[in-house]
Amino acid sequence: MHAAVIHEAGGEFELEEREIPTPDSNEVRIAVDACGICHSDEFVKAGTYPGISYPRIPGHEIAGRIDAVGDGVSQWSTDDRVGVGWHGGHCFTCEACRRGDFKMCDNVETTGVTYDGGYAEYVTVPAEAVAAIPDSLDAVDAAPLLCAGVTTFNALRNSDALPGELVAVQGVGGLGHLAIQYAHAAGFETAAISRSPDKEALAMELGADHFINATETDPAEQLQALGGAKVVLATAPSSDAIESIVGGIGTDGTVLVVGVPDEPVSVDANQLVGSRGAVAGWASGDARDSQDTLEFSSLREVTPQIETYPLSEVESAYERMIQNDARFRVVLEP
């Protein structure tokens, strides 16, 4: 098979021929139809993920078809259309797993980080990391939903917001353009917040009821004028932008961070005390969460805006994503 391999921290992608891997007893092998490129892949490229070993094939937004199953796997069969996201497996025995909270497993595996990922024609993954893909979703559309999709969908559905309440999405990018669609489909009054006024038409087309231009107005004041947000989903990884929206939450409101900035976020405790508010974080989800995301996306026709590239152009495709030149997700088709 062909694969894009990183051999050392800071190294370039090297296109190589490798033996097609054989699944262990608890694994399945997936013929990769599509694999999204995510900003988190920089952990592999730059070597910043703790304990990462090389060589490594990145990629944790995998969509394809099962073409082999391990002897111990009974829940999946060959030709099943499946996907795998950031959550790459769990131990089943730690305290979190015993409580069914697999995402918080003490020994969690991460696809394309702790084992080889989807920048390749084939990949083997633990059976518990696999999600079924509905027939109505193309592989190239399903792939980004297994990271950007599940992160935003799962964060919103686990928040305290109820249909009809005000939910704001900070940032209209790779995460935000999906979050707006999910918020609209879930019945929230949806506000999009952006520092790019040229994205207003797109935000409204995706389902936003309001567009707040953060370069011209105070986004917190605008949210308060709308009654205060129950949830502000912070998708753009900017400390300044996140800090600017904390004052926009209403009573018992939450700023929910899914786009992680490099710098710490400073919060005025008076704002939180006065609103009984909170600033919290949310991390993607496990395989069942991914499948829920795919099924809901199919039901309500939520799809990412993508650019596609062959595996041979992995370097330029990666650069378009990492430089924020893409609108909005980049997908390889191995």
230 with 190: CB under 8 angstroms?
no
Report which secondary-structure segment, H or E, holds 242.
Answer: helix 239-243
Which two three-digit tokens encode residue 275? Answer: 């609103």
147 with 259: CB under 8 angstroms?
no
How far apart, in whole angstroms, are the C-alpha atoms of residue 7 and residue 18?
Answer: 14
How far apart, in whole angstroms, are the C-alpha atoms of residue 65 and residue 305?
Answer: 22
145 with 171: CB under 8 angstroms?
no
- What's the pLDDT score for residue 291? 98
Positive or negative torsion for Cα 312, 316, 318, 324: negative
183 with 212: CB under 8 angstroms?
no
Please name which of 224, 194, 223 lies closest in space to residue 206, comparing C-alpha atoms: 194
Residue 36, strand partner residues = 331
Please name which of 96, 125, 130, 105 lies closest in space to residue 113, comparing C-alpha atoms: 125
Please name which of 156, 147, 134 lies closest in space to residue 294, comparing C-alpha atoms: 134
CA atoms within 13 A on the CB side of 107: 8
Please name which of 228, 100, 206, 222 lies closest in space to residue 152, comparing C-alpha atoms: 206
Neighbours of 201 (CB within 10 A): 10
- What's the pLDDT score for residue 23? 98
Q: What phi, psi does 91 have (nearest 5°)? A: -90, -20
- What's the pLDDT score for residue 53? 97
Q: Residue 41: what residue type?
A: D
How far apart, in whole angstroms, are the C-alpha atoms of residue 232 and residue 305?
Answer: 22
67 with 99: CB under 8 angstroms?
no
Which two three-digit tokens encode residue 96? Answer: 């979190």
> Where does residue 307 rank: exposed (0-12), middle (13-18), buried (19+ CB within 10 A)?
middle
How far apart, in whole angstroms, are the C-alpha atoms of residue 31 and residue 84?
Answer: 12
Cβ partners under 8 Å of residue 331, min gap 6: 34, 35, 36, 37, 61, 140, 143, 144, 306, 307, 308, 309
Q: Residue 227: what residue type?
A: G
**What pLDDT, in 10s, does the model give residues 257-283?**
999 999 999 999 999 999 999 999 999
**What pLDDT, in 10s, does the model give residues 148-193?**
999 999 999 999 999 999 999 999 999 999 999 999 999 999 999 9
**What pLDDT, in 10s, does the model give residues 58-91?**
999 999 999 999 999 999 999 999 999 999 999 9
How far apart, in whole angstroms, are the C-alpha atoms of residue 128 and residue 146?
Answer: 15
> How many residues does this entry show for the chain?
334
- What's the pLDDT score for residue 105? 98
- What's the pLDDT score for residue 205? 98
Which two three-digit tokens encode residue 18? Answer: 């490798």
- What's the pLDDT score for residue 22? 98
At 317, is the pLDDT very low, low, confident or very high (cuts 50, 70, 90)? very high
- What's the pLDDT score for residue 196? 95
- What's the pLDDT score for residue 35? 98
**What pLDDT, in 10s, does the model give residues 282-311?**
999 999 999 999 999 999 999 999 999 999
- What's the pLDDT score for residue 91? 98
In 152-291, where do the E strands start and end? 166-170, 189-194, 210-213, 229-234, 249-257, 278-281
